[in-house]
Amino acid sequence: MEILFDSVAISQSPIRVMITNRDCEREFGSRLTANEDGMCVCAPGTYDVGDICKDTTIFMIIIFSCALVVFLVMFLAFLNYKRQKSDHVWHIGIDELQFDEPPEVIGQGGFGVLVPGLYKGTNGKSSYNWVFAVPMSQGS
């Protein structure tokens, strides 16, 4: 190494310079190494996450966990959508039902009274044998 004074090389300098590699691991903690400029950076195989060097496997586990949570939320939303869509098929409006006047009671149970009727014009006496459950009133 050459030491210059006013652009003139000093051959016998009284100053001795000793260059050593920086020990980033001792200064700042594990997983840090010095680069060619002497700056402490994350070692190979690690990633800088919020000023902390994380190992690649831990980083991948974090990414995989986040992706799994997003997938599960989307899957549950899809299942809820399909359930609501399939439940909609079973909703029958009262205006789609027609009963005889007075209605003939076929049976009675804990959930209501069974009476024959028409659903969208389909006769209860046809091969479909439509029988409708009508909830019992509180007074009965």
Give the pair of three-digit tokens for residue 84. 């609501």
- Residue 80 burial (C-beta neighbours within 10 Å; 0-12, 13-18, 19+): exposed
User: Structure pTM?
Assistant: 0.42
pLDDT in tens, 75-98: 999 999 998 888 776 677 777 777
pLDDT in tens, 39-54: 888 888 887 777 778 8
